[in-house]
Amino acid sequence: MKRWAVLSLAIITLGCSQQVAFRETPDAPAALGQAKVSTDGNNNTRIALNIEHLAPPQNLTPPKSVYVVWAEAPEGKTANLGQIVVGSDRSAEFQAVTPLKVFRILITAEDQALAQLPGQQVVLTTDVFRVGS
């Protein structure tokens, strides 16, 4: 019986997630976004993004080619988590995993998906948050 209790607690703990809201920016004032973050079985942070009302990057001034999602640690180190594609309905979904536990999420407009550092056109951002307790 103890094993089931421990297993149930582990599943509940790993299954818990938190919602993190994005703040709009002057580069994309109509865009709305929300991140759902949780800890996976390897103690990494799982990120699931839902974004609405995001114009295609080619419509920005200056025009860009892609949107890139970044995780930024408090000390400033950034990691390119990947590219998001905006649908014809101006929405996008994205999933990624990072080992970070304290960070913020940025979405920037870039000339290329493999950018090494975030550019100046930040279209959505969160505040710094801590995953878990």
Per-residue pLDDT of the chain (133 residues; tens, 9 = 90+): 443 333 333 333 345 789 999 998 988 889 999 999 999 999 999 999 999 999 999 999 999 999 999 999 999 999 999 999 999 999 999 999 999 999 999 999 999 999 999 999 999 999 999 998 6
Structure tokens at 47: 């990120």
Question: What span, in angstroms and rounded, lies between the C-alpha atoms of 108 and 46?
Answer: 20
Q: How far is CA 52 from CA 13, 34, 44, 94, 97, in A?
A: 29, 9, 26, 12, 21
Per-residue model confidence (pLDDT) at position 133: 60
Q: Where are the beta strands (DSSP E) in the chain?
A: 17-21, 23-24, 32-39, 45-52, 66-72, 78-84, 92-98, 102-110, 122-125, 129-130
Q: Is residue 3 helix, strand or coil? A: helix
Neighbours of 61 (CB within 10 A): 7
Tell me the pTM: 0.85
Per-residue model confidence (pLDDT) at position 10: 38
Neighbours of 112 (CB within 10 A): 12
122, 104 Cβ separation under 8 angstroms:
no
In the numeric block, the tokens 């103690």 are attached to 43
